[in-house]
């Protein structure tokens, strides 16, 4: 997290603490309102912090990490007033200040339970997390930005040539591998299964697979090469959908702004299931799921789907909307399509190509043109 991001989070923590203690002046109240309304993530966080039950859960989670001393220290600085409500909320405000300054609540808000109150659902990492490079989140909440250099993180967890590798790890609980926009990542899970993560993706998994199944959850886009173990099925959960395999390879694309979740087989077979449906997939088949009842099975060119794992942006009869989404993830910019442009583009480009060069090459088709203004790209006829 950069210095400016830390300053912004510390300021937000101060404003939230003041809000809970009824200690904000008119200007600070306006500043807090602007912060809350500046993003969906901030609004969601504020709603969670003003929910006593939800905040109490955060406190139980946080204090279980042996940080009561930090809460007490925060209490000294917050100096609660004598009002009963303020006294009751001082520790909520303290927790908010500590968690936000550490960047913890902002990331934990990407993990929640679904409407049934059961399965864990992941959200794609966004700018609000402050995470700018592939990052490991340990079960104790610690965030570790991964280096491209070979590094030993803990016993049984290391980085080897940019790949996060689990080997002999004995920890319990769940870890998360977070890959923000503009980056990509690879991980070897405790069972030896290999996973590639595209920009704006996350995977949640046990620190060690000790039960009768191997279960993980994902958001964004991921490619799996599952280590064979017929006695212990490998199950990937995404948006309430379960993909079960024993030893196989497949791609899952499940970004929130995509029209459907797609599961594409490259090797072996899998069984895809939800509450109401089940579908077996074979090599070169792709299942497109737009809602609980709308499942479509098609044949697909595997390389078109998996080129990103080789650090290539491949466009095959891609619409301008598809191009927009890819550019936004790979370059972390905002793309606006002006007017009604419905072009279809083709080409394969290396991942390390600059945005300027990519746009120049696309313009040579004479199908589209671009205007760049800072972090904003406008697509023109």
Q: What is the pLDDT of residue 235?
A: 96
Q: Which CA distances in Å does 14 have to 28, 189, 380? A: 10, 39, 43
Higher pLDDT, 44 or 113: 44
Q: Decide the pairing of beta strands 185-188 and 174-179.
A: unpaired
Task: Say yes or no: 129 and 80 in one domain.
Answer: no
Structural domains in the chain (count): 3
**143, 281: one domain:** yes
Segment 14-56, tens digit of pLDDT: 787 777 666 778 888 888 888 888 877 777 777 767 766 555 5
Q: How far does Cα 123 stand from its chain's mean position?
A: 5
Burial class of residue 41, CB neighbours in 10 A (0-12, 13-18, 19+): middle
pLDDT of 109 higher than 50: no
pLDDT at residue 84 greater than cutoff 70: no
Task: Report pLDDT for 321.
Answer: 93
Q: How far apart are CA 167 and CA 190, in angstroms?
A: 6
Residue 327 confidence (pLDDT): 96
Same-domain pairing of 300 and 328: no
Print the domain residue range for 371.
311-380
Average pLDDT, the chain: 81
Confidence of residue 178 (pLDDT cuts 50, 70, 90): very high
Examine the pLDDT at 106 and tell me if it is beyond 70.
no
Task: Specify whether 184 is located in the same domain as 161.
Answer: yes
Shared domain check, 229 and 128 = yes
Considering the domain architecture, whether residues 165 and 19 belong to the same structural domain is answered as no
User: Are 232 and 294 members of one domain?
Assistant: yes
Please tell me whether residues 90 and 129 are part of one structural domain: no
CA-CA-CA-CA dihedral for 306, 310, 315, 317, to nearest 10: -40
**Residue 364: pLDDT over 70:** yes
Whether 293 and 151 share a structural domain: yes
String of DSSP letters for 89-151: HHHHHHHHHHHHHTTHHHHHTTEEE-TTS-SEEE----GGG---S-EEE-TTS-EEEPPSS-E
Least confident of 118-122, 216-220, 267-271: 118-122
Interval 177-187 mean pLDDT: 95
| Choice among 17-21, 116-120, 128-132, 181-185 with the minimum mean pLDDT | 116-120
Tokens 């609000």 correspond to what residue?
128
Token readout for 131 is 């995470």
State the Cα–Cα distance between residues 268 and 103, nearest whole angstrom.
41
Residue 115 and residue 264: Cα distance in Å, rounded? 27
Predicted confidence (pLDDT) at residue 79 exceeds the cutoff of 70: no
What φ, ψ does residue 191 adopt, rounded to 5°? -90, 0
Same domain? For 319 and 244 the reply is no
Least confident of 111-125, 155-169, 204-218: 111-125
Looking up residue 210, the CATH number of its domain turns out to be 2.60.120.1440
Same domain, 72 and 188: no
């Amino acid at each position: 997290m950069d210095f400016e991001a830390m300053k912004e989070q510390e300021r937000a923590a101060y404003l939230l603490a003041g809000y809970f203690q009824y200690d904000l002046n008119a200007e600070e109240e306006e500043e807090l309102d602007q912060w809350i309304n500046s993003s969906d993530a901030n609004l969601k966080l504020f709603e969670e912090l003003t929910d006593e039950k939800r905040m109490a859960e955060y406190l139980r989670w946080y204090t279980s990490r042996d940080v009561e001393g930090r809460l007490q220290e925060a209490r000294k600085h917050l100096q609660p007033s004598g009002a009963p409500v303020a006294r009751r909320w001082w520790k909520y405000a303290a927790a908010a200040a500590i968690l936000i300054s550490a960047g913890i609540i902002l990331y934990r808000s990407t993990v929640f339970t679904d409407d049934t109150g059961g399965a864990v659902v992941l959200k794609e990492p966004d700018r609000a997390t402050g995470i700018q490079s592939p990052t490991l989140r340990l079960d104790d909440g610690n965030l570790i930005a991964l280096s491209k250099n070979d590094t030993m993180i803990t016993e049984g967890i290391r980085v080897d040539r940019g790949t996060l590798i689990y080997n002999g790890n004995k920890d319990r609980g769940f870890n998360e591998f977070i890959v923000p926009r503009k980056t990509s990542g690879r991980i070897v899970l405790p069972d030896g299964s290999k996973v590639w993560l595209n920009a704006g993706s996350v995977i949640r998994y046990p620190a060690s697979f000790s039960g009768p199944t191997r279960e993980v959850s994902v958001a964004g886009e991921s490619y799996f090469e599952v280590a064979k173990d017929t006695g212990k099925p490998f199950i990937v959960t995404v948006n309430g959908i379960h993909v079960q395999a024993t030893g196989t390879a497949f791609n899952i694309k499940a970004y929130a702004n995509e029209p459907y979740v797609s599961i594409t087989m490259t090797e072996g077979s899998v069984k895809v299931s939800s509450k109401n449906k089940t579908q077996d997939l074979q090599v070169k088949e792709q299942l497109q799921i737009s809602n609980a009842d709308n499942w479509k099975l098609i044949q697909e060119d595997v390389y078109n789907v998996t080129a990103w794992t080789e650090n290539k942006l491949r466009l095959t009869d891609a619409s301008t909307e598809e191009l927009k989404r890819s550019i936004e993830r790979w370059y972390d910019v905002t793309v606006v399509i002006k007017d009604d442009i419905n072009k279809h583009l083709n080409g394969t480009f290396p991942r390390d190509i600059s945005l300027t060069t990519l746009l120049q090459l696309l313009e040579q088709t004479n199908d589209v043109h671009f205007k760049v203004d800072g972090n904003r790209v406008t697509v023109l006829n």
